[in-house]
Amino acid sequence: MKKNLIYFVSALCMILAGCDDFLDTESLTMKDTSNFPVNEVDAIQMVNGIYSVMNRNLADPEEDPFFIFDIASDDRLGGGSQSNIGAQGVDRLMNAYVDWMKPLWQQRYAGINRANSALETIDNVKEWSSDTKKNQLLCEIHFLRAFYYFNLAQVFNGVPLVLSTQPQNLPRSTPDEVYAQIASDLKKAIEYGPSLRYPEFGEGRVSKWAAEGMMARVWLFYTGFYGKSELPLPADEGGAVSKQQVITWLEDCIQNSGFGLVSD
C-alpha cells in the first residue's frame, strides 16, 4: 500500500512539475489573443463579433431597450394575453420575471468586452490595405462600445465602467462618468471615421456619420434628462461637448454624408 502511495505521489509531482510546459502551448485549433487577429481579415471578423451580440434582440426582444422605451411610453400598450406577460410588465414598469433584465445586462457587457478586446489587440495587425480601413474599424469599435453603454445607462442609470479585459470587481459609476465615456468614444469614432459618402464605407456598418448622429441623440438625452447644459468628457481628457459642437457635427453629416430625406 505504501509503495503504491509513493508511486502515486511521485507521478503527481511529475505531472504538476510539467504543468507549466503543458499549458504554455500554441493553440492549433482555436483562435485566442495569441494568434488573433494577425491580419486585416481577422480584424474585420473581430469587429463583426462586436456587432453580433445584437442578434440577442431577436431571441429576447422584451429585454431590448428600444422595446422597453416604446412600451413604457404612451406610444403603445403591452400585450393582452398571458404569453405577453413581459410586455405587460414593461407597460406597468414592473418586473415580469426573476432577473428580468439579466439578458440585457449580459449581452451589452459581452459587446463591451469584445470592443475592449478589439482595442487592445487591433495593433497586432501590422499590414493593412490602407490606413482608411483600420480607421474605419476603430470608428466602429468606439461607436459600438458607446452604443452598448448608452443602452445600459438609459435602463440602469449608473453602471460599472469596464474599459479593459482584465478581470476586476468595479463599483457602480455615476451617470456623469458613464456619459463622459460614451461622449469620449463617440468623439473618437467621429475623429477616426473616414469622410466617405454613403455607401462607400460599407453596407450595414457604422460610419462617422452614424457617430455624429448618435452624439446628438446622447447629448439631447443627457442634457434633457439630467438638466445639464453640456455633455462631459472623462477627467483625463478634460472639457465637454457643447451644443454648438453637436450642431457642427450634424451640419457635417447633413452636407457631406450622402444621406438625405426622401423627396415629397
75-121 tens-digit pLDDT: 766 666 656 677 777 777 777 777 777 888 999 999 999 999 999 99
Q: Is the pLDDT of residue 132 over 70?
A: yes
Q: What is the pLDDT of residue 159?
A: 97
Q: What residue type is assigned to position 98 of the chain?
A: V
DSSP character string of 81-114: SGGGHHHHHHHTT---STTTTHHHHHHHHHHHHH
pLDDT in tens, 4-15: 556 555 555 555
How far from 67 is each of 64, 71, 76, CA to CA, in Å?
5, 6, 10
Please check the confidence at residue 17 and state whether its pLDDT lies above 70: no
pLDDT level of residue 157 (50, 70, 90 thresholds): very high
What pLDDT score was predicted for residue 3? 56
Grid cell at residue 73: 411610453
Q: Is the pLDDT of residue 188 over 90?
A: yes
Cell of 201: 464605407
Give Cα 239 to chain centroid, integer Å: 23
pLDDT at site 18? 54
pLDDT surpasses 90 at 147: yes
The pLDDT value given to residue 31: 77
Residue scoring higher pLDDT (121 or 20) = 121
> 207 versus 66: which is more confidently predicted?
207
Task: Note the pLDDT of residue 69.
Answer: 76
In 3D space, the residue among 204, 191, 188 whose CA is nearest the CA of residue 145 turns out to be 188
How confident is the prediction for the chain on average, in pLDDT?
Answer: 86
More confident position, 66 or 179: 179
**pLDDT grade, residue 264 (50/70/90)?**
confident
Q: Is residue 255 over pLDDT 90?
A: yes
For residue 200, CA distances in Å to 174, 180, 205, 258 come to 38, 30, 10, 10
Report pLDDT for 13: 57
Q: Is the pLDDT of residue 22 over 70?
A: no
Please, which pLDDT band fits residue 2 given cuts at 50, 70 and 90?
low
pLDDT at 21 over 60: no
- For residues 241 and 12, the model is more confident at 241
Using left for φ > 0, alpha for ψ between -120 and 50, and beta otherwise, residue 258 falls in left
pTM here is 0.84
Q: Which of 147, 149, 144, 148 is nearest to 173 (CA)?
A: 149
Name the residue with higher pLDDT: 9 or 222: 222
Q: Which pLDDT score, from 0 to 100, does residue 224 have?
A: 97
